[in-house]
Amino acid sequence: MKHIVPFLLLLTILLSACSAIAGTANPSSTSFDINDWDSVVAAAKGQTVTWYLWGGSESINSFVDAFYGKALKDRYGITLHRVPVADTVDAVNQVLSEKQAGKDPGAVDLIWINGANFLSLKQANLLYPDWANKLPNSLLVNWDNPAINRDFGTPVDNLESPWSSAQFQFIYDSARLNPAELPRSYAQLKEWVIEHPGRFTYIAPGPGAFQGTRFVKGALFEISGGADQWSTFDQATWDQWSPELWKYLNELKPYLWRNGETYPKDENELHSLFANQEVDFSITQAAVGAGALIEQGLVPATSKAFVFDQYMIGDFNYVAIPANAPNKAAALVLANLILDPELQAAQILPENGFGLGYGIDINRVTDPAALVKLQDAAKKLGDAATSPVDLAKSLAGDSDAQYQNLVETGWRQNVLVSSK
């Protein structure tokens, strides 16, 4: 044992030497001026952009390759290297470990990101700063919208640029239920659940299961009579309303699937309970509603999305560039490309397999041909989607990020663990 300690010290020194060498071995990428877009495009030519994105959906993967991979190659001479990750937190951990190992340039050029993972990297100061508003297509983004300039309540500060939008919705099976009997509010949901014991459940709120957190926040909004007061953090408001929220959820609990003793941990688990007819509702965030899920065979073909009249939380998702990205120019070009109106129109069509909503504001699109494409695409969302009018009517912004943790830990303590 005596010999191990000096050896470990030696090893540590060797390891740090390695990272120092690695740091100097790779010269920094071709220089460009972010304020001069032509210089960015010129620097990006010939680069390979490594994009880490959640790879759990085969249809999204092929959409990315077919639409962005091809356009990057044809228009800019950039090669797309798509790295599928099981969870975005893996990409975050990659960047964090690179920082700890002193690795610059790193391996990641672009990450599909939002919410808590964005907060992690922002907190650790690991994001390339001041670029999102410099993209030419950034003019099409409505940066005045708090749903865009705040990501789960965290100011975006030009550290990330939007890709698409999503909104909380429920899914039902039109072969099992008819639209008239669907609940349209949390109050009606409670009545429905009590009349149909064991036929409803929701995703356990917690890190990595934001859909469940969102379901609970929607209830909080309805119980407290509005979403607006939750957009800024106030402990007193929380203390006033959270007991009501736990009361509501505990009233649901005995009538839930498996008596609320356990909950599905993610969307896929809930989809399979729904497909297996153990419960009658599932949850989705997609603009095409159940469309993409039907294509993947995860839910019955007769599934349709629906919303309550109010408090269906919607948000945007983004791409961010790590501070140690080796090919920043190519990453910037890709981040700009995904805001291209034509590709935005392509991303919402169910047959293309992506299925999330617009990241840009179509009212800002001045090119008439592009505008027509965007408007047409919005009309072709398919039967399994909620109508855009209903979506817009029920839309609520997410609450301040500080509530996220309160809702999640509070739910564990007061609903999951509690024997009430």
If 0-12 CB within 10 Å is exposed, 13-18 middle and 19+ buried, where does residue 306 land? Answer: buried
Contact string 25-64 vs another protein (x = CB under 8 A):
----------------------------------------
Looking at the Cβ atoms of 89 and 343, the one nearer to another protein is 89
| Interface characters, 133-152, with another protein (x: CB under 8 A) | --------------------
CB of 420 to another protein, least distance (A): 14
The tokens 């935005």 sit on which residue? 344
Q: Which of 49, 132, 148, 204 binds another protein (CB under 8 A)?
A: 204
d(CA 394, CA 6): 64
Q: What is the DSSP letter of 127?
A: B
| Binding string, residues 105-134; x marks residues near another protein by CB under 8 A | ----------xxx-xx--xxxx--------
Residues 6+ apart with CB under 8 A from 91: 52, 53, 83, 85, 108, 111, 113, 117
Q: Is 383 in the site for another protein (CB under 8 A)?
A: no
Binding another protein (rule: CB under 8 A), the pick from 133, 262, 268, 387 is: 262
Residues 6+ apart with CB under 8 A from 93: none
Q: Does residue 196 touch another protein according to CB under 8 A?
A: no
Total of residues contacting another protein (CB under 8 A) = 40
| Structure letter (DSSP) for residue 289 | T
Give, as ranges, the residues between 318 and 377 that touch another protein (CB under 8 A): none
Amino acid at the residue 410? G
Q: Which is nearer to another protein, 17 or 372 (CB)?
A: 17
Give whichever of 313 and 401 is closer to another protein, judged by the CB atom. Answer: 401
Could you say whether residue 417 binds another protein (CB under 8 A)?
yes
Strand order in the sheet with 169-173: 282-284, 169-173, 303-306
- Asked if 265 touches another protein (CB under 8 A), the answer is yes
In a 3-state reduction of DSSP, which class is residue 114? coil
Nearer Cβ to another protein, position 14 or 369?
Answer: 14
For residue 4, CA distances in Å to 1, 8, 15, 16, 18 come to: 5, 6, 16, 18, 21
> Cα–Cα distance between 196 and 190 in angstroms, integer?
10
Please report, as ranges, the residues that interact with another protein according to CB under 8 A.
4, 7-8, 11-12, 89, 92, 96, 99-100, 115-117, 119-120, 123-126, 198, 204, 206-208, 258, 261-263, 265, 272-273, 276-278, 405, 409, 412-413, 416-417
